[in-house]
Structure 1
Amino acid sequence: MSASSLNRDPRIRAALDQAIELGELGISVAAYHYGRLIVDAVAGVADRETQRPADAQTLWPVFSVTKGVTALAVHIQAERGFLDVTAPISRYWPEFAANGKESITIEEALSHRAGIPQMPEGVTAEHMADWKWMVDRVAQHTPLFRPGIDCAYHVLVWGWIVGEVVCRTDPAKRPFDRFVYEEICQPLCITDFHLGVPDRSLSRIAKLYGGNEFPIVDNHNISPDPVFPGSTVHNTKVIQQAVDPGAGAITTAGAVARIFALIANRGELDGVRLLSPEGVASLTKPRPAAQDKVLPIPVHFSLSGYWLGGEAGVSDPLVGDHRDVIYSPGAGGSVAWADTRDGLAVAICHNNMDSVAVLEPERTFAPVVQAIRDITSESR
C-alpha cells in the first residue's frame, strides 16, 4: 500500500472528518497490522488561531503515552540481562534506598505501587528540565503509601524513577533520551519520537488546547500547578524541550504506532527484534487488583507498566475486548495500543484536550478505530 493510499482511504478520511465535527481540532492516526503500515493520516489544524493545518510533519504532545515507550526500554534492558524487574531499585541506584525505599522493586515502580507518586516540593518547569535536580530529589522521597501494596498512579514522577533505572543499568551510561533514540528509534528507523524537541523542529509542534482541569486525587503534590499535564504548561518551550520519560514525548502518530507495532508483532518488526515472544507475552500479566488512590476511574493495570485490555467496565473499550492488549493513554485523550492476538498497533494523537475523547471516546475516536478495524478485516 503506497503512502498516498494510506492517506486517501475514504473510510479513514470520513472518520477523521467526523471526529473534527464532534469536537477535535487536529487529529492524527497511524496503524500497523502484522507489521505492515495500513493507516497513516491526519486532519484538522495544528493551531486554531493561525489556522496552521495539521499535516504529516506535525508533532503532537502525547503525555503518558510516553510511558509505554519508557516501559519498553526497561524490558529491553531486562532481556539483555542488565536488570531484573523483581530486584530492588536500590540495587542499581543506591541513593534511592533513602527514607524507607530500599526494598521497592522495579516492577512495583512500573506498576505504580512504589508508594511515591508525589513530585518534589517546589518543582517548576525549569526543574523538570534538569534531570539531576529531579532524580536527586526523587531519591530522597519518603513513601506516602504502602510500597508493593497500595496502587497510586504516579502521574509525573514515574518517568524519573523508571528512566533513571534505565540510565543506571545502561553499560554506556547514556542520557535517557539518547538511550531511547539509539536502542529503540534508530533500529526501527524512527526519526520523529522526541524526548526534548530540538530548536529546529519547535515550529512543527501542534498547539494544545484545554486539559488544565484533569480530575485526579491530588492531596500530595502529585501534579502541582507549575508542572500540571495540561496545555498551559505543555505549550511552553522549556517543557517541550525537557526529557520527561513519563509524560513528555512529542511525536507523530506514525512514530508511536511503529514502536507499538514491534510489540504487537511479538517483539520483531522489519527484521529488527528488540523483545522475545516470551518477553512480549509477559507484558500482559496483571498487577494485584486494588482501588487506585490517585485516579478517580477504575484501573486494570499490568506489572509491566501498561494498562490492560479485556476488563469489562474498566479497560478502554476502544482498544479491544480481550486480554492480549496493552495500551498507554495520555492526558487529554491521546492513546496507543498493541494487540498481540490480532497483530494490530494503533496510535491516535490530537490537540484538543477538552474534546469529548476524554470522557466519551466513542464519540470522537470510535469512528476512526472502526475504520481501522474495517481495513484490517480485509487484510487478514
Structure 2
Amino acid sequence: MFSLQQEIQSAVDELVGSGAETGLQVAVYHEGGLVADAVAGLADTRSRRGVSSQTPFFSFSAAKVVTSLIAHLLVKTGAVGYNTPLVDLWPEFGAHGKETATLRHLLTHSVGVPAMPRCIGPDDLTDWPRVCAAIADAEPQWYPGTKTGYHAYTFGFLVGELARRATGKPMRQLLREWVTVPLGIEGELYFGVPRADLSRLARLEDATPPPATPPGDTVLAPWEMRPSAAMGNSPQILRADIPSVGTFTARAAAAMNAAVLDGRLIGSQQLDELTAVAFEGTDQVFGNHARLAMGYPLGRIGEQRQEASTTFGWVGGGGSYVYADPATNVSFALTKTRLTPHFNTAQRLADITAAQINAHA
C-alpha cells in the first residue's frame, strides 16, 4: 500500500499548497495495519507550529463514532441492552411521554429530542447535571421510535448519562478504560482534554467567507447548526466532557475503528448488528433521506450504490470525517484546522483511499 501513502500525501500537500486547507491529518488502516499516515500544513498559523501525526484536533461531530462505540461496549459488557428503556436507569427522562425511548432509539436518533432545550446555550455545555436535567424534562418533537432527526448535541449527553448511570463513570473515564489504554492511543483521543495537553492541540480557523447563518425556523439553534473556531478553540469546551464532539488525531480514530473491524473491541456478531440498517426515513432536522445503522449513518461520502453500503461513520462540522468499511476492512480518518461549509476535502481523500484499496483487492 505504499502507493496509497504516496497518493494521499501528495493530495494533502496540494490542498495545503493551494490554500484550500491550512492543516490536515489523514490516516488509513487496512486489514488491521496502518497503510497511510499523512500530514501537511500548520497546526497553528499564529505560532507557525506544524501538524504532526500526534497533533490532536477538535473535530466536532466526527467524534460521534467514539460515543456510539461506548454505547455498543455498554451492551457488550451487559450493562444495558439495545432495547433497554432509558427510564430503567434514568427515570426522570420519561417526562412528557418519553418513557418508551430505548437505547436503540437513541442510537438511531429517533428519541425525539434533536435540539437542546432553548434554556441551554454553548456556554452551558460544561455543566453536565444542568444539561441532562434540561434534556430529561424536554418535550419530544415526535413519539420515540417513529421518526428520525439528527440529535446534534443531545446525542452525546443521552449516551453519556445512560452510561454514567449504568456504570457510575463519566464518558471520558470509560473511553480511557475501554478504548485508549487497551489500544495504546492514550493522549490521542479525548472526551475532555487535560489542561496540560491543551498546548498540543491544533488551533481551528473559520473558513472565509463563513457559512451562512441558518434560517430562524430551523429545529436546531444556530450554534448547534454551525461549527465555529471560537467554540473549537475554547479551553472550557475542550476540557469538558461533551461526548457529541471530541478531540483526536486521525491516526487514533482510524486505529479505534480498525479494532472494531478486527474484533478487538466487539465481536463479529455485534459488528453485524451495528452495521445493519436500523432506521430509514426522512431526517426531521435537515430533510434529507437518512439510512442509519445503530449509532452511525450508512454509506461513504461520494460512494455509489449507497443503498448497499455497510460503511459506517460520521462527518464533523467543518469537514472532518471518520468511517470504517467492513466489506473492505478499511478504517479512515481525516482531521483539519480550517472549518469549511463543505466536505470536498473529505470526499477527495476518501475517494483516493477507496480507489487504491479496490485496485489492490
Scaled by the length of structure 1, the TM-score of the pair is 0.86
Structure 2 equivalent of residue 284 of structure 1: 275
- Which of 105, 113, 116 aligns to 1:116? It is 113
Deviation at 1:200, TM superposition (A): 1.5
Give CA deviations for 1:318-345 in whole Å, capped at 9, x if unaligned: 5995422111111111111111011100
Partner of 1:93: 90
The count of residues paired between Structure 1 and Structure 2 equals: 356
Q: Which residue pairs with 2:182 in the alignment? A: 187
Counterparts of 1:45 and 1:199, CA distance in 2: 22
**Secondary structure at 2:36 match in 1:** strand
Decide whether the 8 Å contact of 1:216 with 1:295 is kept in 2: no
Is it true that 1:55 corresponds to 2:52 in the alignment? yes
CA distance in 2, matches of 1:206, 1:186: 22
Deviation at 1:233, TM superposition (A): 1.8
Higher helix share: 2
Partner in structure 1 of residue 170 of structure 2: 175
Q: How far, CA to CA, are the matches of 1:107 and 1:26 in structure 2?
A: 37
CA contact (8 A) 2:114 2:149 kept: yes
Residue 114 of structure 1: CA displacement? 0.7
- Within 5 A, what are the aligned runs for 1:53-202? 53-170=50-167, 173-191=168-186, 192-202=188-198
Q: Which residue of 2 aligns with 1:46?
A: 43
Match of 1:243 in 2: 241
- From 302, 313, 323, the counterpart of 1:337: 323
C-alpha distance 288-12 of structure 1, shift in aligned 2 (>3 A): closer
CA distance in 2, matches of 1:344, 1:44: 25
Contact 1:60 / 1:349 at 8 angstroms: preserved in 2?
yes
The alpha-carbon distance between structure 1 residues 186 and 215, as it changes in their structure 2 partners (threshold 3 A), is farther
1:185, 1:193 within 8 Å by CA — same for their partners in 2?
yes
- Alignment match, 1:307: 297
Structure 1 unaligned spans of 5+: 310-314
The secondary structure found in structure 1 opposite 2:150 is coil
Compute the displacement of 1:42 (Å).
0.8
Separation in 1 of the partners of 2:239 and 2:330? 31
Q: 1:255 aligns with which of 248, 252, 255?
A: 252
SS at match of 2:165: helix
Any idea what SS the aligned residue of 1:82 has?
Answer: coil
CA RMSD of aligned residues (A): 2.6
The CA distance in 1 between the partners of 2:95 and 2:288, in whole Å, is 32
Go from structure 1 to structure 2 and tell me whether the alpha carbon gap of 1:160 and 1:60 turns closer, same or farther (over 3 Å shift).
same
Q: Distance in 2 between matches of 1:279 and 1:71?
A: 13
Residues 47/343 of structure 1: CA separation in 2 closer, same or farther (3 Å cut)? same
Which amino acid in the other structure matches residue 323 of structure 1? S
TM-score normalised per structure 2: 0.90
Structure 1 residues 319-328 or 156-165, which shifts more?
A: 319-328
Distance 1:373 1:153, change over 3 A: closer
Q: Write the distance in 1 (CA, Å) between the matches of 2:204 and 2:256.
A: 23
Alpha-carbon distance in structure 1 between the residues aligned to 2:58 and 2:269: 31
Matched letter for residue 237 of structure 2: I
Q: Distance in 2 between matches of 1:326 and 1:164?
A: 24
Matches of 2:144 and 2:25 in 1, distance apart? 38
1:368 aligned to which of 321, 346, 349: 349
Per-residue Cα deviation, 1:255-312 (whole angstroms, up to 9, x for no partner): 10011112232xx2xxxx321100001112223322112125433222x110101xxx
Shift of 1:223: 3.5
Report Cα offsets for 1:197-250 as digits up to 9, x if no partner.
111211222222227647767647734549953222222111111111112x11
Q: What SS is found at the alignment partner of 2:183?
A: coil
- 1:155–1:223 contact (8 Å) kept in structure 2: no
> 2:200 is matched with which residue?
204
Letter of the 2:322 partner, please give it: A
1:316 is aligned to 2:284:
no
Q: What is aligned with 1:349?
A: 335
CA distance in 1, matches of 2:287, 2:195: 37
Letter of the structure 2 residue corresponding to residue 34 of structure 1: E
2:33 is equivalent to residue 36 of structure 1 = yes
For 1:33, the aligned partner's letter is: H
